[in-house]
Every structure is written in C-alpha cells, then in structure tokens.
Structure 1
Amino acid sequence: MVDSTVSEINVKEIDSILLPGCMDIITIIDGQGLFKFIKQVASEETVIASISSSPFLLAKAGVLKGKKFTVGLTKENMEKLGVFETENYSDELVVQVGNIITARGRGFIRFGIYLGKALNLEFDEKWYQEKF
C-alpha cells in the first residue's frame, strides 16, 4: 500500500527519489502522471536514483536526453522501447551524471554507495564487500 500518490507529493519537500526496477516495466508505459512527476523532480536539484529496468522511466520522461546512463535491459529491448539514446549507453554497473544515478541490477551495492554519497550520508563504504 502506498502512503501517497505522485500527484500528492510536493517536489519542493523531497531531496531524492529512488526508482526500483521490476520484472515487467512495460506495465507502466502509459503512466503519464508518473512521467510528469519525474520531469518535474528532474527540474529541481533532487537526487534521482534509478536501478535495473527503471532507467526506462527516466528515458521515457526525457530526463536522460544527452546523458550517459546504464540500465538493466538488453540493447535489443532498449531499441524496441524506442526511448533510449543508445549512443549514450554505458556498460558500467553504475553511472552518475550530476544528480542522476543509474545502475544495472547487479550493481546494487555500488548503487547504494553512490546514492549515500549523493545524499551526503555518513556510512562505512566497506560494510559489504563485493567479490569479483
């Protein structure tokens, strides 16, 4: 159950949004209210953190135009969706451009570190070690 809808949120009262991925991101492809909200938040100095398939929402809202990004979708799916500037795609696990952080799902630890730093939180970056 949600606490509030995007239409109820005052963007001047938030410092960040976190967009998780999901198995079927296409189910919200027509969520115009959501895309309007994302555009509005992006025009503020709000940290936007998006992981897995959810950078699709940023691309659909026009927030990734001209920006380097990563996403947990195949190149074929990105092309099929038609909203990504694939020339700006990066294979990196996490990409940060200004206040926008995108990540592929398996980069969740590094993603959390980037988000914590963007929010100026105090934490031990080595609390969990990635194994390569």
Structure 2
Amino acid sequence: MNSLGGESGLSCVPDTTIDEINIDEIDSLLFPGCMDIMSLNYEERFFDFIKKVSGNVKIIASISSSPFLLAKAGVLSGKNYTVGMTEEQRDQVGVFEKENYSAELVVQDGNLITARGRGFIRFGICLGKALNLKFDENWYRE
C-alpha cells in the first residue's frame, strides 16, 4: 500500500459524472495516458461524451495512449496526430487513420494537441500556450 491508499500510483476521486457535467462550462479537455487504455474500449457513453463535447471546446489535448479515445470517438478523423502506441497496436485496434499519423513527439492540428508520452514537457508547453497561460517555458527542461 502507498500513502494514497492504493497498491501503487495515484488515486483520483471524480467531482461529478459525465452525465452531470454542464457541457457549456467546459472550455478544454485533457486526456492523460494509462497502461490499461483498452479497458475503456466498450464504454460507449464515454465516447459519446467525447463526441458531444469536442465541438464545444477550445482545446483538446491527449498524450500517450489516450489519443486512442479520440480516435475511437471520431475526433481524430482527418486530423494529424501522434500517439504512444506502436504501428502494430494502432493497426490492431483499427480506429486510427494511418495517413494522418506522425512520429513527432507532439502534434498540433488546429485545436487538437496529441503527444507521445516521452514528449510530456513539450506537450505541457504546447497546451499552456494554447490555453493562453502565462509561464516561463524555459523553466522546463527536457
């Protein structure tokens, strides 16, 4: 057990559910990656939520394995993207457009920012700029 009460890692308790969220109050979406992203593969309510909200938000940012969620929801359609999955994994899940994949660490296409996990510093800087946050990007080191 760790100090957070779990076996390992960080625990997170949600403030609300996707059914209770006022979509008009959301200005951006941020999706972290995780080791077991495929456990969400059949959560259609979640993908419906992503589709519904994606048209109303200023920025959608997704890193590591989580661009899978955007692809499955149709948000990556016609967009340049990257993801922390191998070509074999991308082919296996069958939701990614091969022609729009980039091997870059961070890819921004309009209001969509995607990144591979090891690009987390560049991803954070890109997201901060997209949200017009004030920060010293030189403080962060790769």
Q: CA deviation at 1:37?
A: 1.1
CA-atom RMSD, angstroms?
0.8
Question: Contact conserved, 2:29 with 2:57, CA < 8 A, in 1?
Answer: no
Question: Contact conserved, 2:33 with 2:65, CA < 8 A, in 1?
Answer: yes
Match of 2:117 in 1: 105
Greater radius of gyration (CA): 2
Deviant stretches of 4+, over 2 Å: none
**5+ long unaligned stretches in structure 2:** 1-12
Alignment of 1:5-16 (within 5 A): 5-16=17-28
Q: Which amino acid aligns with 2:124?
A: G
**5+ long unaligned stretches in structure 1:** none
Alignment of 1:7-86 (within 5 A): 7-86=19-98
Aligned residues: 130
User: Matched residues in 2 for 1:87 and 1:120: separation?
Assistant: 30
TM-score normalised by length of structure 1: 0.95
Structure with the larger RCO, 1 or 2 (CA within 8 Å, 6+ apart) = 1
Q: Secondary structure, in 3 states, of the residue corresponding to 2:138?
A: coil
Q: Secondary structure, in 3 states, of the residue corresponding to 2:139?
A: coil
User: Matched residues in 2 for 1:75 and 1:116: separation?
Assistant: 29
Match of 1:92 in 2: 104
TM-score normalised by length of structure 2: 0.89
User: Matched residues in 1 for 2:60 and 2:124: separation?
Assistant: 12
User: Matched residues in 2 for 1:86 and 1:11: separation?
Assistant: 31
